[in-house]
Every structure is written in structure tokens, then in C-alpha cells.
Amino acid sequence: MRVYLPATIGMLRQLVSDGELMPLSGTGFALTPALRESYVSGSTEELEYAALLDAARASLRLLASSQEPGASDTKEPPRRVVISADVEHATLRPDLDHAVVRLSGPVRLDEVAAVHVDAAEAEPAVLAAAAVIDAADLGDPDAEFTLGDVEDHELAWYAPQELPFLLELM
């Protein structure tokens, strides 16, 4: 199953250095039957993109906590990161949300199909969105507008073998 894992640059560094990464709480997003049923129409590609966007939004939550004083990622660039991986150990969790899955173990680097990362010009929008992600979840229209600003930035695509070079340039 193709899963989309929310991450940060620090988590990406860990994946490259350790060769594996355990997503926070084992949470990922995927094209699940519940996600497919929640849309009136859409191709598989469009619905997978919806799962990827859910993971990108979850990445903002990780960034919000990583930017707090004393967090290990405070020196890393504030960019959304989504790791796309093909795994066998995902369990559907429609009780949490339509696209949520739980992984029972770490994701190995050789399971990674691609990594999606914001470009540098998205950083101000990412910081603003990370600061209001909880308010947006609670329905604050101004916060939702701020999230829309960051979602206007497309995530860049990187092959797994490009990750050491990408991280070196950050």
C-alpha cells in the first residue's frame, strides 16, 4: 500500500542516516476505501493526491511542535515534508479520519518511493500556517485562509537517491 507520511526535515535526516523512520504514533495517510467513498468522483491519482495533502497538513502539526523552544528541529528549515512509501504493514483507521492508517513498524529507506518537500520560498507561509493549524482545525476562518496560503505552494518531488544531496543543500 502506498502511504504518505508527515515528516520534518529533521525526521528526513534521521531516515537517511538510520535507514529507517518510525512515523510519529505510526500515523500515515493513504487512499483507503473510506477516502474513496468520501469523494463523489475522482481518479486514483486525484484521491492519492488528497491523501498526500492530508499528510502535508499533518506535517504542519509536526512543524508547530518542532519550532517550540527546546525542540530538536528548531534549527531546521521550516518546510512541509511528506514521505511516500510502499509498505505492507499498514492498518486502516477510518475511526480517526478517512485517509488515516497506522503502521506497525518503521519505514525503511528502501520502501520510500519519493519525498515531497516545500521549496525555500514557501517558508514564511509554512511558519504562518504552523502557528495557526490548531485554530484552523477548530474552524477559525482566518486560520483556514492562512492554511490556504501554504497549500498554494506545491511540494517539490525528490527521488530517494537524491535525499543526501537535498539535505546537504539545506
Could you read off the pLDDT tens digit of each residue along the chain, which spans 170 residues?
A: 999 999 999 999 999 999 999 998 899 999 988 888 888 888 889 999 999 999 999 999 999 987 665 555 567 899 999 999 999 989 899 788 899 999 999 999 999 999 999 999 999 999 999 999 999 989 999 999 999 999 999 999 999 999 999 999 88
Range of the domain at 8: 2-165
Tell me if 170 is assigned to some domain: no
pLDDT at 148: 92
- Res 49: pLDDT: 94
Grid cell, residue 142, equals 482566518
Residue 148, in any domain of the structure: yes
Q: Does some domain include residue 15?
A: yes
Per-residue confidence (pLDDT) for residue 151, from 0 to 100:
93
Residue 79 counted as domain residue: yes
CA-wise closest residue to 162 among 123, 112, 125: 112
Q: Computed from CA positions of residues 19, 90, 32, 56, in that sequence, does the dihedral angle turn out positive or negative? A: negative
Residue 139: inside a domain: yes
Instruction: State the Cα angle at 97 between 58 and 84, rounded to 5°.
Output: 50
pTM: 0.91
Task: Provide the CA 4 distance to its chain's centre, in angstroms.
Answer: 6
pLDDT for res 39: 86
Q: How many domains does the chain have?
A: 1
Task: Answer whether 114's CB lies under 8 Å from 139's CB.
Answer: no
Burial 93-106 (b: 16+ CB within 10 A, else e): beeebbbbbbbeeb
